[in-house]
Amino acid sequence: MKFEAPPIPAEWIDSAAAFTVADEGPARRFCHEHDGRLDTMLLLRGAIEADQPDRTTWMLVYSAPNLPSLFVVLDAPNGKVLRTWRG
């Protein structure tokens, strides 16, 4: 199935800004201490917050050898870190 993705609203931060927020914040220590790196970056809607199904977020997943991944979830409109966890 092929379809055209809708444009990203102007009020959302773009992927470069989301990467900068995560990389200068929660991921910095993880990457520095464990030789971590960004593995996956997704723009998601409704996958993280069941009580806010229309909320759009960036999820960045960082990996490091022999360690659980670090997940960082950012609010798409303002770039605020909403949640982090290891798993």
Answer whether residue 41 is part of any domain.
Answer: yes
User: In this predicted structure, what is the pLDDT of residue 75?
Assistant: 93
Three-state secondary structure call for residue 36: coil
What is the span of the domain harbouring residue 23? 19-86
Answer whether residue 3 is part of any domain.
Answer: no
Answer whether residue 10 is part of any domain.
Answer: no
User: In this predicted structure, what is the pLDDT of residue 10?
Assistant: 82
User: In this predicted structure, what is the pLDDT of residue 66?
Assistant: 95
Answer whether residue 52 is part of any domain.
Answer: yes
Q: State pLDDT tens for residues 4-59.
A: 777 777 888 999 999 999 999 889 999 999 999 999 999 988 777 778 878 899 99
Number of structural domains in the chain: 1
Answer whether residue 11 is part of any domain.
Answer: no
Answer whether residue 61 is part of any domain.
Answer: yes
Buried b (16+ CB within 10 A) or exposed e, 20-38: ebbeeebbeebbeeeebeb
Answer whether residue 13 is part of any domain.
Answer: no
Output phi, psi for 72, to 5 deg.
Answer: -125, 125
For the segment 61-75, the average pLDDT, to the nearest whole number, is 96
Q: What predicted TM-score, i.e. pTM, was given to this entire model?
A: 0.85
Answer whether residue 65 is part of any domain.
Answer: yes
